[in-house]
Amino acid sequence: MRLWTGVAAFLRERFPLEKMNLHDMVEKKTVPIHKLRWAYFLGGLTLLFFSILAVTGLIMLFYYEPTVSGAYDSVRYISHQVPGGSVIRNLHAWSSSCMIACVFLHLFTVFFMKAFVKPREITWLSGVILLFITFGFGFTGYLLPWHQVAVNATKVGLQSIGAIQDYLPGNFKDLPGQLIHVIQGGDSVGQATLSRFFVLHVVVLPVSILTLLGLHLLQIQFHGMSQGVDRPTGKSEAFFPDFIVNDLRVWAVFFVVMFIIALCIPFESLFGYPLLAPFDALGSTPDGIKPEWYFFFAYYPMELVPFWVILVATTVVGAVLFFTPWIFANTSRRTLRFLAFFAFLYLVVVTVFGEPITLLIKGH
């Protein structure tokens, strides 16, 4: 009984419904001004990139064909024949990378600004789930063009789940294999996988992300912006219209830059041709199969250290992410900055230098 009244009290504090009106949620809200104020734009920027993705993705759906025989050609058709198609597709591909980068930065900044403490636990938790959904978008979208990297990287990604079986007790040994089978919808990556990933990418994940985004933003409007620094300057600007106008300015700049990039640099120029050839089930896998850069932080370590280390590390990081609001409730911002710095350093080093480091250590 005590437990349930506790839960109710917790929720009452996180969802102050009496504040559910324009005055409390919009008119009264202010955004602090201090030297970290740029961090307040990162969440909005993520939202911008998501909007670009949703619009361009929807537009591509008019031509994209989620079949093994048609996917590759339909994507080619979009980017080479349909007027304006290449811009749309490039916008989608570039924005997906930008969205992931923004989520990372957003996560780090809200972490070291200590924006997750009471009463913002739910903001943080919904954020963590948003992070996983975003990764889900990246993983499922990557398969859709059905070229060599797409299919093979997906195979490798899925197979790595299978490596867990060595650490499971007897009865559960089959579990990872069955899980892979369910995800693939068959013995190997094929039409069933494409259909599943397609539905996940364009229906299930968009609906989930919109729902959680609603919760995330509702929480943010309920609780207002966190102070973010130890010694607030006392200065602030009104959320509406000042912060919104600034937000729009940032959006405008990034949109223009994004558009120019999409116009000038095909996303595909980052790969060599054999990787972009249509997937060939009978041939050998071409050299250089890699997941998207935003999975490097898990991919390179997997080649270097024993799998159980990865397993333990993932579990710990996952748990820490979920319980951050409670674990770090009493940690100072200085310490948080320190931790965030090292985590960020790890991400940057592994993402940028993962390949040479791996080659160096393996001695090839």
Partner 1 sequence: MFDLFFFGVLPYLALALCLVVGILRFTVKRFSYSSLSSQFLEHRTLFWASLPWHLGIFAVLLGHFAVFLFPGFFRALLADHRILLAFEATGLIAAFISLIGLALFTVRRVFSGRIQSVTTTMDLAVLVLLLLQVGLGILTATLQRWGSLWATGVLAPYFDSLFRLQPDLALVKDLPFIIKAHAVLAFVIVGLIPFSRLIHMVSLPFTYIPRRLQIVIWNFRRRKDLVERAALEDESRRQFLRGATGVGIGAVLIGVGTLDKVVPFFKGPDLTKEEREELLSLKVKKLKATAEQKALELERMQSETLFVANLKDLKRDSGTYFIDYQMSPGLAFLDAAGLPLLYSAKCPHLGCTVNNKAEGGLVVCPCHVSHFRVADGGRVDGPTPTGLRTIPHLLKDAKGALVTAPEAARLGEYQVFIAKGERS
Q: Give the phi and the psi of residue 30 in degrees, each rounded to 5.
A: -130, 160
User: Which residue's CB is nearer to partner 1, number 54 or number 101?
Assistant: 54
Q: Give the phi and the psi of residue 238 in degrees, each rounded to 5.
A: -70, 140
Closest CA to 147 of 255, 15, 277: 277
Among 157, 176, 206, 301, binds ligand HEM (CB under 6 A): 206
113-142 positions binding ligand HEM, by CB under 6 A: 115-116, 120, 123-124, 127-128, 130-131, 134, 137-138, 141-142
- CA angle, residues 61, 70, 154, in degrees to nearest 5: 85
The reply to whether omega before 119 is within 30° of 0 (cis) is yes
Give the nearest distance from C-beta 38 to partner 1 in angstroms.
26
The CA-to-CA distance between both ends of the chain, in Å, stands at 63
Among 151, 189, 225, 343, binds ligand HEM (CB under 6 A): 225
Give the nearest distance from C-beta 362 to ligand HEM in angstroms.
28
Give the nearest distance from C-beta 57 to ligand HEM in angstroms.
2
- Identify what 116 binds: ligand HEM, partner 1, none; CB under 5 to 8 Å per kind: ligand HEM
Is position 194 an interface residue for ligand HEM (rule: CB under 6 A)?
no
Is position 103 an interface residue for ligand HEM (rule: CB under 6 A)?
yes
196 vs 199: CA distance, rounded Å: 5
Using DSSP, state whether 147 is helix, strand or coil. Answer: strand
Among 25, 37, 52, 53, binds ligand HEM (CB under 6 A): 53
Counting Cβ atoms within 10 Å, is residue 237 exposed (0-12), middle (13-18) or buried (19+)? middle
| Residues engaged in binding partner 1 (CB under 8 A) | 59, 62, 68-70, 72-73, 77, 81-85, 87-88, 152, 155-156, 159-160, 162-163, 187-188, 281-289, 303, 362, 364
